[in-house]
A and B are shown apart, each in its own frame.
Chain A
């Protein structure tokens, strides 16, 4: 299982396209499954949610906690990835 930072590097190395949520840094199998259950099946959907929350990290964290009971570390990984994706791509 790749580390969060490795996952992050892999994710931002190219456009996310149709990558699944599992590819997001900080989102492992369990979380990924929870997200998919809520129909957040692709990484870009989660990015969309980040944008709908006005790119507010605090809100995004709350949403992650709410939706899939992500812990802080996972949230951090998520946020970093989203920000990198959005701002660098």
Chain B
């Protein structure tokens, strides 16, 4: 990381926001304070850097729209395809990938009913939010590429699990009523 001294005011401000450090304007009298705070925050380890990634990601999405469409049909385990589509920005991808895979992995543990629904929902927005905003040409622009191994848990398994949990909950509910 380059020296904090050489950062512009805007860069400092962005960095402070990244580390969620509440701050005012970066002026002469406050500069050294913020530099110190940033140094401490960095030393503590990069805590939170989600928003810049998401911002970049959304910007890049418009550019790499074509590459993303096969991923959309794949869904959750598309971290590999992200890397495939944007080799240049591997670093950002990686961060997003980790944050995304962290996102999808805890979900199965959490419990199926929400999982398949929400994961499906979560699949769609990241990959197709800006395409929807931008243009309506159908997402299935290209034939789905590699279906089998790109998902963490196959889609049908998610559906089956969801239905099973729903049935289970219904049974519990109905048994409660009779009692």
Name A residues whose Cβ lies closer than 8 Å to a Cβ of B: 49, 52-54, 56, 58-59, 62-63, 66-67
Is the CB–CB distance between A59 and B22 below 8 Å?
yes
Name B residues whose Cβ lies closer than 8 Å to a Cβ of A: 22-25, 27, 29-30, 32-33, 36-37
A contact patch SS: helix
Is the CB–CB distance between A66 and B36 below 8 Å?
yes
> What A residues does B29 contact at CB under 8 A?
49, 52
Is the CB–CB distance between B36 and A59 below 8 Å?
no
> What A residues does B30 contact at CB under 8 A?
49, 52-53, 63
A67 to B36, CA, bound (A): 12
> What B residues does A49 contact at CB under 8 A?
29-30
Q: Which residue of A lies closest to B24 (CB)?
A: A54
A62 to B33, CA, bound (A): 7
Interface core residue of B23, B25, B33, B37 (most chain A CB under 10 Å)? B33
Q: Which residue of B lies closest to A56 (CB)?
A: B22
Is the CB–CB distance between B24 and A66 below 8 Å?
no
Is the CB–CB distance between B37 and A62 below 8 Å?
yes
A41 to B25, CA, bound (A): 21
Q: How far is the CB of A68 from chain B (nearest CB, A)?
A: 12
> What B residues does A63 contact at CB under 8 A?
30, 33
> What A residues does B25 contact at CB under 8 A?
52
A52 to B25, CA, bound (A): 7
Known A53-B30, A54-B24, A59-B33; 6 more pairs at CB < 8 Å: A49-B30, A52-B29, A53-B24, A54-B23, A59-B24, A63-B33
Q: How far is the CB of B48 from chain A (nearest CB, A)?
A: 18
Is the CB–CB distance between A54 and B27 below 8 Å?
no
A70 to B167, CA, bound (A): 64
Residue pairs across A and B with Cβ atoms less than 8 A apart, 28 shown, are A49-B29, A49-B30, A52-B24, A52-B25, A52-B27, A52-B29, A52-B30, A53-B24, A53-B30, A54-B22, A54-B23, A54-B24, A56-B22, A56-B24, A58-B22, A59-B22, A59-B23, A59-B24, A59-B33, A62-B33, A62-B36, A62-B37, A63-B30, A63-B33, A66-B32, A66-B33, A66-B36, A67-B33
